[in-house]
Structure 1
Amino acid sequence: MTSRSPRATARPSSEGRAVARTQTLLPGKDGIGTVRRTTLPGGLRIVTETLPSVRSATFGIWAHVGSRDETPALNGATHYLEHLLFKGTRKRSALDISAAIDAVGGEMNAFTAKEYTCYYARVLDTDLPLAIDVVCDMLTGSLILDEDVDAERGVILEEIAMTEDDPGDVVHELFAQTMFGDTPLGRPVLGTVDTVNALTRSQIARFYKKHYDPTHLVVAAAGNVDHATVVRQVRRAFEKAGALGHTDAVPVAPRDGRRTLRAAGRVELLNRRTEQAHVVLGMPGLARTDERRWALGVLNTALGGGMSSRLFQEVREKRGLAYSVYSYTSGFADCGLFGVYAGCRPGQVHDVLKICREELHKVASDGLTDEEIRRAVGQLSGSTVLGLEDTGALMNRIGKSELCWGSQMSVDDMLARIADVTPDEVREVARDVLEQRPSLSVIGPLKDKQADRLQRAVS
């Protein structure tokens, strides 16, 4: 990701505290959409995007840790910890945490991914100081008590069971396992029943101490916010908790990843008594830092990103073989995935796979038409802008950008990069990605004898 050259100022505290460094990353227009970053002594980064015209604000803290950082024995620890930070601090009980945000009509939640974790609250702009205090307290003052670990274990096991009841979700986890095998990227974010049952309070507490120091955190706020005020309130909250760390510490660099082996031509079947068979056909994609990702985004949109896409037209509209069919991309620090999903009747799996493979081959060999590329560029541009219409999405964008790239890109620059994608770039990335030998994951009431036929489908 690219960014404009930031303007930096160093501001000593009036109380004689160590100096914080503030930079304007994106100037915005007339102060609207201005993105600033302040790095506090101790390595804590605070980024904000200011939109004076709205009445809401979203405040979040991003942690540079995900399920990718877990050993096999710790699988599920990141997500387990996400739950536990809501269970109480030295200042607040679990009820106090939820009641504080509920009382002002706000919403609070968190999510764990392969390479990061985020905790956030969305409130009225006048209630932002409360959101800052509550979320910072959770991140810096969690007690992680034995009784909370035991109680939340049952909740997480129920969450795993709920996910297992949705084969449309499980098939994507199965596909990650198919592609990456028994590696951190191949294991489920939630962990398994066995690993969650085996995790102890001391293991989780050590994980918390290791991964939640200020150098691993990015604070992000978007909406009707004042950058200096947010910095002052965050700094006060962290200082009260004694959580700013060493003044000479520097933020961790964006993750560069560890090259993960990926499989080709593997087939994983999970036999279940479902009404539909759930299918993911895919291959290695691109890392999130790969400059070809813009062309891949256009390719993905044209191939399976909407109702006018090739896959939707060929599989659903012309033949009526599936209700849901789409393609998608996932980018990590050093690798990625490109996948095609379809849900269909079990007896039609082979027909659906045949059509999907044919369309992938056609695009890899002949490319997309100019009209398909034009339409995909317009669709991708529009969805990019529409997806940033609320303060939560803006907070996600600036927080993730700081954590994963260490820089910011304006919406105008993003739209320009999408518009600059050429047919030759799309054809090139189609050849690079789609001509690879695919792997396949299927969940449904399939017979063992179908395994050989499905194996041949990816040969």
Structure 2
Amino acid sequence: MESMRKSEIDGIKVITEHVPGMKSVSIGLWVAVGSRYEKKNESGMTHFIEHVVFKGTKKRKTHEIARAIEGRGGVLDAFTSRENTCFYARVLDEDMPVAVDVLTDLVFNPIFPPEEIEKERNVVIEEIKKEEDDPDDLLINLLFESLFSNPSFYHPIVGDEETVKAIKREDIISFWERYYNPAHIIVTAAGNVEHEKFVEELEKRIEVKKKERINPEPAGERERKVVIKEKEGVNQVYIALGRRSYPYSSPYRYHLLFLTSVLGGGMSSRLFQRIREEKGLAYAINTYLDFYLDTGIFGVYLATSPENVASAVGMVREEMEKLRKEGMGKEEWEEVRRQIKGGLILSLESMTNRMLKLAREEMYTQEHSTLEELIEKIEKVKKEEVEELAREMLDPSSYTMVLVGNTKGIKEDVLS
């Protein structure tokens, strides 16, 4: 039987899920700040801070931070997204206090050594260059810029070289003090974890004052358009058709899972079968779906040779229109339902995924569901409701299209 518990320590939300039979625990210390919280001259700041907190704390030197976890067979890592930063560890259950100590040390006690900041600045700039060289990363960045009007929301999470070069140590400390406080922090844990003991370990280490929470500005909107960007040294054309969708808190969240699954959610999906299996026009083709505080994104990704672009895009639109007008057969509907349920059950075999789930639920809805409750929500989704949503979401006139790569000679009218 699953057991979820929730407490609060000086404004910090703490949520745990005890999963019987496990010998490990996954712990995440989440800061509700991501790239969309940055001002223009702060682009890349959140991601940069995620890097430099690992360069020394009041208690540990750089090599001691990783060794404290990895020396026990555990995993320590972090990531930055548009809306949050997560520092996480997976350890044996007996090493839970050590993981708590390391994670709280990273988040609350970084010293930002000047010489380490300069070294890590070079690392981040190399990461920016790598992203600029990657057609997939460039495609996604251009798609966000084409769909949303607020630069804070669409600028690359890693920032740009100019702003990262200009970041000073005092800027880092100011940003860290603004957001790395209880008003923005959630701690989640899943596995063989006792809630009271976990909270006790946190209370020993948290000595920060709560400040007012800062919320991001709206993502904004742009008109539909086609963006074509040539990139030398690339053989294929990378294509994204995308549109704004619903936020995480929307009642349509589960309906959208059905829609993305049937259209392009795997090898059995309509797009994969038509464009790859039947026509051989692309190696990679899939749908994508993501949710945010006030918006979302839904679309189709594929990569193909320049001579196949018009045909492949035309077929994507045909499949979208077919699903929009004809809906789904009963057998296909039940298969997609089984796919979603099975994927959910398998994903939650991972304690890290359970830890991620707890955090996202708390950040976006403040409501938590057991696996059984999630399956019940999926069972309640009706075929007619998804088909009605498809008529809205798959309207071709609502999609922006971005093409990156070997685009020489490709004209907008060929794609219309």
Do Structure 1 and Structure 2 share a fold, with TM-score over 0.5?
A: yes
Corresponding residue for residue 93 of structure 2: 125
Looking at structure 2, the residues matched to 331 and 73 of structure 1 have their Cα atoms a distance apart, in angstroms, of 26
More helix by share: 2
Which of residues 275, 278, 293 is equivalent to 1:315? 275
1:52, CA displacement in angstroms? 3.0
The DSSP-based 3-state class of the residue aligned with 2:30 is strand
Q: Decide whether aligned partners of structure 1 residues 118 and 337 sit closer, same or farther in structure 2, where only a CA change above 3 A counts.
A: same
Q: What's 1:34 paired with? A: 3
TM-score, reference length from structure 2? 0.96
1:62-141 aligned at under 5 Å gives the runs 62-141=30-109
Aligned counterpart, 1:207? 175
Q: Equivalent residue for 2:256?
A: 296
1:58 and 2:19 matched: no
2:328 alignment partner in structure 1: 368
Deviation at 1:185, TM superposition (A): 1.9
CA distance, structure 2, for counterparts of residue 372 and residue 184 of structure 1 = 40
Q: What pairs up with 1:249-264 in 2 under 5 angstroms? A: 252=213, 258=218, 260-264=220-224
Verify: 1:440 aligned to 2:401, yes or no.
Answer: yes
Q: Say if 2:337 is the partner of 1:337.
A: no
Which AA in structure 2 matches 1:371?
E
TM-score by length of 1: 0.87
Q: Give the Cα–Cα distance (whole angstroms) in 2 for the partners of residues 141 and 172 of structure 1.
A: 34
Measure, in 2, the Cα distance between the counterparts of 1:295 and 1:184: 29
Alpha-carbon contact 1:257-1:334 (below 8 Å) kept: no
The letter of the residue matching 1:369 is G
Residue of structure 2 aligned with 1:172, choices 135, 140, 150: 140
2-side partners of 1:273 and 1:85: how far apart?
Answer: 37
SS in 1 for 2:153: coil
Amino acid at match of 2:349: E
Correspondence for 2:343 = 383
Quick check: 2:148–2:219 contact (8 Å CA) kept in 1?
A: no
Q: Residue 197 of structure 1 aligns with which residue?
A: 165
Q: Which residue of 2 aligns with 1:407?
A: 367
What is the SS of the residue equivalent to 2:154?
A: coil
Aligned match of 2:189? 221
Structure 1: which 5+ residue stretches go unaligned?
1-28
> Are 2:316 and 1:348 equivalent residues in the alignment?
no
Query: Could you tell me which of 422, 427, 437 is aligned with 2:382?
Result: 422
**For the residues of structure 2 that align with 1:333 and 1:227, how far apart are their CA atoms?**
28
For 2:109 and 2:159, how far apart are their aligned partners in 1?
25
Q: 1:394 and 2:362 equivalent?
A: no
Kindly indicate whether the alpha-carbon contact (under 8 Å) linking 1:123 and 1:131 is maintained by their aligned counterparts in 2.
Answer: yes
Runs of 5+ unmatched residues, structure 2: none
Instruction: Provide the rounded CA distance (Å) in 2 between the counterparts of 1:181 and 1:368.
Output: 35
Letter of the structure 2 residue corresponding to residue 266 of structure 1:
V
Q: Kindly report which structure 2 residues correspond to 1:230-245, keeping only aligned pairs within 5 A, or say none.
A: 230-238=198-206, 242-243=207-208, 245=209
The Cα shift of 1:317 comes to 0.6
1:240-290 superposed Cα distances (whole Å, 9 cap, x missing partner): xx32x15xx78x59x686252133123242433212211111212111111
Q: Give, in whole Å, the separation in 2 of the partners of 1:90 and 1:333.
A: 34
1:222 positional shift: 1.0
Task: Tell me if the contact between 1:284 and 1:433 (Cα under 8 Å) persists in the aligned partners.
Answer: no
Structure 2 match to 1:324: 284
* Alpha-carbon distance between aligned partners in 1 of 2:304 and 2:271, rounded to the nearest angstrom: 14
Describe the superposition over 1:292-322 as per-residue Cα deviations: whole angstroms up to 9, x where unpaired: 1211110110000011111001100100001
Residue 168 of structure 1 aligns to a residue whose secondary structure is helix
> In 2 relative to 1, CA 270–76 (structure 1 residues): closer, same or farther, beyond 3 Å?
farther
Q: CA RMSD in A?
A: 1.7
Q: Secondary structure at the match of 1:269?
A: strand
Conserved? CA contact 1:315–1:322, under 8 Å? yes
For residue 6 of structure 2, what is the amino acid of its counterpart? R
Task: Please list the CA deviations of residues 36-82 of structure 1 after superposition, one character each: whole Å capped at 9, or x if unmatched.
Answer: 01112x20111111123111111110111111101111111110010
The aligned amino acid for 1:121 is: A
Q: Deviations over 1:312-356 (max 9, x none)?
A: 011001000011100011111111111100111122111111111
Task: State the shift of 1:104 in Å.
Answer: 0.5
Greater displacement, 103-112 / 418-427: 418-427
- Offset at 1:181? 4.3
CA distance in 2: counterparts of 1:52 and 1:368, whole angstroms: 39
Q: Where do residues 181-192 of structure 1 align in structure 2 (5 Å cutoff)? A: 181=149, 183-192=151-160
Identity of aligned residues (%): 33
Displacement after TM superposition at 1:405 (Å) = 1.7
Structure 1 residues 434 and 351: CA distance shift in structure 2, 3 A:
same
Q: Is the 8 A contact 2:37 2:216 kept in 1?
A: no
1:414 to partner: Cα distance: 1.2
Give the counterpart letter for 2:140 in structure 1: H
Aligned pair count?
A: 415
In the superposition, relative to structure 1, how do residues 256 and 90 fare at CA in structure 2: closer, same or farther (>3 Å)? Answer: closer
C-alpha distance in structure 2 between counterparts of 1:441 and 1:256, whole Å: 26
What secondary structure sits across from 1:237 in the alignment?
coil
